[in-house]
Amino acid sequence: MSVQADIVERVAFDVEAVRRDFPILAREVHGKPLVFFDSAASAQKPRQVLEAERRIYEHEYANVHRGIHYLSQICTDRMETAREKVRAFLNAASAREIVFTRNTTESINLVAASWGRHFLKEGDEVVISEMEHHSNIIPWQFLRDEKGILLRVAPVGDDGEFLLNEFAEMLNERTRLVAITHMSNVLGTVVPVRDVVRMAHQAGAKVLLDGAQAVTHIPVDVRDLDCDFYAFSGHKLYGPSGIGVLYAKEALLDAMPPYMGGGEMIRSVTFEAAEWADLPYKFEAGTPAIAQAVGLGAAIDYVTGLGLHAIGAHESDLLAYANQRLASIDGLKLIGTAPGKASVLSFTMSCAHPHDIGTLVDRAGIAIRVGHHCAQPLMDRLGVAATARASFGLYNTRAEIDVLTEALEGVREFFG
CB 223 within 8 A of CB 92: yes
Give the pairing of strands 332-335 and 344-349.
antiparallel
Q: Coil, strand or helix: which one is 102?
A: coil
Contact letters (x/-) for ligand PMP, 28-47, by CB under 6 A?
Answer: -------------x------
Q: Does 346 bind ligand PMP (CB under 6 A)?
A: no
Stretch of residues binding ligand PMP (CB under 6 A), selected from 102-110, 117-125, 322-330, 331-339: 102-110
Q: Does 114 bind ligand PMP (CB under 6 A)?
A: no
User: Sign of torsion, CA 89 94 97 101?
Assistant: positive
Subset of residues 132 to 161 that bind ligand PMP, contact rule: CB under 6 A: 133, 135
Q: Does 348 bind ligand PMP (CB under 6 A)?
A: no
Q: Does 391 bind ligand PMP (CB under 6 A)?
A: no
User: Among 35, 75, 154, 212, which residue sits at the site for ligand PMP (rule: CB under 6 A)?
Assistant: 212
Q: Does 338 bind ligand PMP (CB under 6 A)?
A: no
234 or 365: whose CB is closer to ligand PMP?
A: 234
User: Among 216, 233, 346, 396, which residue sits at the site for ligand PMP (rule: CB under 6 A)?
Assistant: 233
Stretch of residues binding ligand PMP (CB under 6 A), selected from 143-151, 205-213, 219-227, 389-397: 205-213
Contact letters (x/-) for ligand PMP, 287-326, by CB under 6 A?
Answer: ----------------------------------------
User: Among 114, 129, 175, 181, which residue sits at the site for ligand PMP (rule: CB under 6 A)?
Assistant: 181
Give me the least distance between CB of 186 and ligand PMP, in Å please: 8
Q: Which burial class, exposed, middle or buried, applies to 192 when counting CB atoms under 10 A from its CB (0-12, 13-18, 19+)?
A: middle
Give the pairing of strands 175-181 and 125-129.
parallel
Q: Does 280 sit behind a cis peptide bond, omega within 30 degrees of 0 on the bond before it? A: yes
Closest-CA residue to 308 (of 394, 186, 398):
394
Euclidean distance between CA atoms 203 and 331, whole angstroms: 45
CB 284 within 8 A of CB 266: no
Stretch of residues binding ligand PMP (CB under 6 A), selected from 101-109, 193-201, 293-301, 351-359: 101-109
Euclidean distance between CA atoms 137 and 207, whole angstroms: 15
User: Among 38, 60, 210, 315, which residue sits at the site for ligand PMP (rule: CB under 6 A)?
Assistant: 210
233 or 348: whose CB is closer to ligand PMP?
A: 233
374 or 379: whose CB is closer to ligand PMP?
A: 374
Give me the least distance between CB of 207 and ligand PMP, in Å please: 15
CB 107 within 8 A of CB 232: yes
The DSSP symbol for 352 reads B
User: Among 105, 114, 189, 346, which residue sits at the site for ligand PMP (rule: CB under 6 A)?
Assistant: 105
User: Following CA atoms 51, 56, 58, 60 in sequence, which dihedral angle do they give, to the nearest 10 degrees?
Assistant: 150
Q: Does 213 bind ligand PMP (CB under 6 A)?
A: yes
Closest-CA residue to 210 (of 172, 245, 163):
245
The DSSP symbol for 162 reads B
Q: By CB under 6 A, how many residues form the interface with ligand PMP? A: 13
Stretch of residues binding ligand PMP (CB under 6 A), selected from 11-19, 120-128, 152-160, 206-214: 206-214
The reply to whether 75 belongs to the active site is: no
Euclidean distance between CA atoms 124 and 398, whole angstroms: 48
Q: Does 103 bind ligand PMP (CB under 6 A)?
A: yes
CB 131 within 8 A of CB 156: yes
Q: Does 216 bind ligand PMP (CB under 6 A)?
A: no
189 or 405: whose CB is closer to ligand PMP?
A: 189
Give me the least distance between CB of 255 and ligand PMP, in Å please: 25
Q: Coil, strand or helix: which one is 164?
A: helix
Long-range own/partner contacts, residues 19-22 (CB < 8 A, 24 or more apart): 19/395, 19/397, 21/46, 21/47, 21/48, 21/302, 21/395, 22/46, 22/47, 22/395
Closest-CA residue to 179 (of 127, 135, 222):
127
Binding site for ligand PMP (CB under 6 A): 41, 103-105, 133, 135, 181, 185, 210, 212-213, 233, 374
Residues labelled catalytic: 374
